[in-house]
């Protein structure tokens, strides 16, 4: 049984879907495989070498195994399978899958893997520390102002991926959520710092370019609320990275 979308990182759910669908094809157990979120602007895509791994154990070409896997996985509604050179597989998430996951996130905030809470992060230079603190405080300020907007449901989440910077922020939210949901690996301290820096930069770029107040609030209140929801997701992850993981105070205002 696949885990419910609302309780899992999207990479973990995708991993389970692939494993469940492909297991009946092969007599041997599938090898341990990883999914890597690709940095693309047009799609939310994961890359995987599972066909190459299976081909090595079957003494056949990766391309042959990849074609067989792609055909079997082609009926999944959550993603589109793309064959890449040398037997690599790419899984392009459909926007509705991302939207469904985002909707669930507003009710189920991230609980990072316990391993992330016992790191020994290096000292952070003042500039990078301030960037994370400023992004968190800016989110809090906008969310406090947004409390005056009367809630209505359901929100039209399909609108939230229309702007390239909205997609960039969603990409960062996916990346942070994926990585913090799994046990930390090597150089996790540096990775946590990188995630904080990237998420801070994308949050501030989004906030500057994707307006919430003024004409947007007056003419399209639901879009304003959607953008506030994205900032709420970013703020929650920034707070998790800053305080429990990196041991940095997360201010509500500056």
Q: How many angstroms separate the CA atoms of 175 and 234, rounded? A: 12
How far is CA 134 from each of CA 206, 237, 243, rounded to the nearest angstrom? 14, 14, 14
How far is CA 121 from each of CA 64, 102, 118, 190, rounded to the nearest angstrom? 44, 29, 9, 8
Do 41 and 143 reside in the same domain of the chain? Answer: no
Q: Does 34 or 108 have the greater pLDDT score?
A: 34
Q: How many angstroms separate the CA atoms of 162 and 248, rounded? A: 34
Task: Specify the number of domains making up the chain.
Answer: 2
Give me the numbers of helices (H) and strands (E) for the chain, helices first please: 9, 4
Nearest to 245 by CA among 141, 111, 102: 111
Do 89 and 140 reside in the same domain of the chain? Answer: no
State which residues form the domain around 191: 110-245
CB atoms within 10 A of CB 152: 9
CATH of the domain at 170: 1.10.730.10
Domain-embedded: residue 89: yes
Which tens digits make up the pLDDT trace of 225-246? 889 999 999 999 999 999 999 9
User: What's the pLDDT score for residue 223?
Assistant: 86
User: What's the pLDDT score for residue 208?
Assistant: 92
Which tens digits make up the pLDDT trace of 132-147? 999 999 999 999 988 7
Rounded (5°) CA angle 224-77-58 = 130
Nearest to 105 by CA among 10, 18, 32, 204: 10
CATH of the domain at 53: 3.30.1360.70
| Res. 28 pLDDT band, cuts 50 70 90 | low
Sheet holding 89-93, edge to edge: 36-38, 44-48, 89-93, 79-83
3-state secondary structure of 93: strand
Do 167 and 229 reside in the same domain of the chain? Answer: yes
Do 115 and 160 reside in the same domain of the chain? Answer: yes
Q: How many angstroms separate the CA atoms of 33 and 228, rounded? A: 36
**Mean pLDDT of all residues in the chain?**
86
3-state secondary structure of 43: coil
Which tens digits make up the pLDDT trace of 5-22? 555 788 888 888 898 888
Nearest to 11 by CA among 86, 95, 97, 72: 97
Residues forming a β-bridge with 89: 48, 83
Which tens digits make up the pLDDT trace of 78-102? 899 999 999 999 999 988 889 888 8
Do 17 and 48 reside in the same domain of the chain? Answer: yes
Q: Tell me the residue length of the chain.
A: 254
Q: How many angstroms separate the CA atoms of 120 and 188, rounded? A: 9
Q: How many angstroms separate the CA atoms of 163 and 37, rounded? A: 20
CB atoms within 10 A of CB 30: 15
Contact 226, 157 (CB under 8 A): yes
Contact 135, 203 (CB under 8 A): yes
Do 148 and 202 reside in the same domain of the chain? Answer: yes
Residues forming a β-bridge with 82: 90
Do 160 and 45 reside in the same domain of the chain? Answer: no
Do 150 and 81 reside in the same domain of the chain? Answer: no
The model's pTM:
0.88
| Res. 153 pLDDT band, cuts 50 70 90 | low
């Amino acid at each position: 049984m696949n885990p419910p979308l609302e309780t899992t990182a999207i990479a973990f759910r995708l991993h389970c879907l692939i494993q469940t669908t492909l297991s009946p094809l092969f007599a041997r157990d599938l090898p341990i495989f990883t999914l890597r979120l690709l940095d693309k602007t047009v799609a939310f895509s994961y890359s995987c070498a599972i066909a190459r791994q299976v081909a090595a154990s079957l003494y056949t070409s990766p391309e042959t195994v990849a074609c067989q896997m792609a055909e079997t996985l082609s009926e999944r509604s959550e993603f589109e399978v793309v064959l890449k050179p040398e037997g690599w597989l790419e899984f392009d998430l459909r926007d509705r899958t991302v939207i469904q996951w985002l909707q669930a996130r507003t009710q189920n905030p991230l609980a990072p893997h316990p391993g992330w809470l016992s790191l020994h992060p290096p000292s952070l230079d003042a500039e990078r520390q301030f960037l994370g603190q400023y992004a968190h405080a800016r989110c809090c300020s906008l969310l406090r102002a947004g409390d005056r907007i009367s809630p209505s449901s359901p929100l039209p989440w399909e609108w939230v991926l229309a702007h390239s910077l909205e997609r960039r922020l969603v990409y960062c939210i996916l990346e942070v959520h994926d990585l913090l949901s799994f046990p930390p690996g090597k150089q996790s301290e540096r990775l946590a710092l990188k995630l904080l820096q990237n998420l801070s930069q994308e949050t501030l770029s989004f906030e500057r370019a994707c307006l919430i107040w003024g004409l947007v609030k007056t003419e399209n209140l639901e879009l304003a609320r959607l953008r506030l929801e994205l900032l709420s997701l970013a703020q929650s992850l920034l707070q998790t990275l800053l305080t429990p993981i990196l041991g940095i105070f997360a201010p509500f205002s500056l």
